[in-house]
Amino acid sequence: MCGRNLQMFSLWALGFVLLIFGITTVCEPAGSNNNCHRKDCNGTWYDIKEATCCENRLHPGASLSCCGNEPYSPGTATCCKQQHRHTVTARVTQGLSEKVSSCCELKAYNPVNEICCQSAIIAKPSPMAECCGKDVFDRVKQLCCGSPDIKMILMRNSSHHQCCGHSQYDTETQCCCSNEKRLEVYPKISSCCLRDSTSAHLCGNETYDKNTQLCCQSTVIDKHSPNHRCCDKRAYDGEKELCCGPISDKKILTRNSPGHMCCHQGQFNSKTECCCWKDDGAEIQPRNSSCCMQQEYVAIEGLPKVLFCLCL
Ligand SMILES: *[C@@H]1O[C@H](CO)[C@@H](O)[C@H](O)[C@H]1NC(C)=O
Ligand SMILES: *[C@@H]1O[C@H](CO)[C@@H](O)[C@H](O)[C@H]1NC(C)=O
């Protein structure tokens, strides 16, 4: 039943496309005779070569895009959208092409030399800059240590230094040992390090060290940071990366922002987009698209998302 609806929809959509093509091909040669450039904007007919209609209001200027009710040109400006429950707010930032920009909530920025950390746009001190709470740090020269709510930037002593709670430790000579729930740095030969490494954890038929290794699908993998988790048979950084895709066909992606989530093997900005499941896979769509709206509705009803998107 679902499949048939979809087929009928496809045929209908195809017919629609053919119809549009039919009109354009008939119309184009007589372009100067402008009947086909006229459109309705809330009851007013206008020439699309002269004006743009955004949310039922006419604005001078041809082939502009709409950002909510504001017209803009994506070549020289960016539209950022944000959803709060059921209302979408949109704002235009002038002077930055949509091709090169990213959005930091409602403000656009240039990701080449700026970064968005907890809703604030900050100049990037180096190309390797990343967010550490509200600040930026250089992941090569520095470490961002601590708990998610209290982060601290430390000068990294060497490339084999890693975070242990709020401080750093040398992974070659020390271990980060949990002592009565607190993380502390100890020499590798200390009883705390030895206790952790000798309490034999089994991975498949091998033993592994929980401090420095991971067990991913019965495979032992070296852990390069405390944030490392399994992604199929590989390790990924649970803070900076995403592990996306179906089991045994997962991909590791650099996470574009803390609000990014997986959509099949890709990622989407959960603040402005949704992952829309269609019968031939998943597709990222803007939050105000009909498919996203359906999914939100369905999520409330607690019914399978996949079914609804397929049928409608
Ligand atoms: C669209 O037309 C309706 C009816 O004429 C009017 O009430 C409404 O204000 C118009 N909307 C805009 C945005 O001009
Ligand atoms: C890092 O370097 C400082 C200065 O050389 C040193 O005092 C400190 O012990 C080092 N920390 C670690 C964990 O190696």
| Residue 255 lies inside a defined structural domain of this protein | yes
Give tens-digit pLDDT for 76-106: 999 999 888 788 899 999 999 999 999 999 9
Give the model's pLDDT for residue 302: 40
Cβ count near 115 (within 10 Å): 21
Pocket of ligand 1 (CB under 6 A): 42-43, 56-57
| Residue 148 lies inside a defined structural domain of this protein | no
User: Is residue 117 predicted with pLDDT exceeding 90?
Assistant: yes
| Ligand 2 atom nearest to CA at 169 | 13
| Distance (Å) from CA 272 to ligand 1 centroid | 28
Give the model's pLDDT for residue 70: 94
| Distance (Å) from CA 309 to ligand 2 centroid | 56
| Residue 147 lies inside a defined structural domain of this protein | no
Ligand 2 mutation pick, 145, 152, 154, 157, max ligand atoms within 8 A of CB: 157
| Residue 159 lies inside a defined structural domain of this protein | no
Residue ending a domain, among 106, 126, 150, is: 106
| Residue 218 lies inside a defined structural domain of this protein | no
Ligand 1 mutation pick, 41, 42, 45, 57, max ligand atoms within 8 A of CB: 42
| Distance (Å) from CA 25 to ligand 2 centroid | 73
**Res. 12 pLDDT band, cuts 50 70 90:** very low
| Ligand 2 atom nearest to CA at 168 | 13
Residue ending a domain, among 58, 82, 106, is: 106
Proportion of the chain above pLDDT 70, given as a percent: 78
d(CA 122, CA 311) in angstroms, rounded, equals 44
Give the CA distances from residue 292 to residues 40, 269, 308, in Å, rounded to whole numbers and listed in that order. 27, 13, 11
Give tens-digit pLDDT for 124-180: 998 889 899 899 999 889 998 887 678 899 999 999 898 888 899 998 899 888 776
| Residue 45 lies inside a defined structural domain of this protein | yes
Residue ending a domain, among 106, 122, 148, is: 106
**Ligand showing the shortest atom-to-Cα distance for residue 171:** 2
Pocket of ligand 2 (CB under 6 A): 157, 168-170
| Residue 303 lies inside a defined structural domain of this protein | no
| Residue 100 lies inside a defined structural domain of this protein | yes
User: Is residue 29 predicted with pLDDT exceeding 50?
Assistant: no
Range of the domain at 251: 241-289
| Structural domain count of the chain | 2
Ligand 2 atom 8 nearest Cα: 157
| Distance (Å) from CA 117 to ligand 2 centroid | 28
Calculate mean pLDDT across residues 208-216.
80
| Distance (Å) from CA 197 to ligand 2 centroid | 24
Give the CA distances from residue 5 to residues 175, 251, 286, 307, in Å, rounded to whole numbers and listed in that order. 60, 33, 24, 12
Proportion of the chain above pLDDT 90, given as a percent: 41
Ligand 1 atom 4 nearest Cα: 42
Between 75 and 15, the higher pLDDT residue: 75
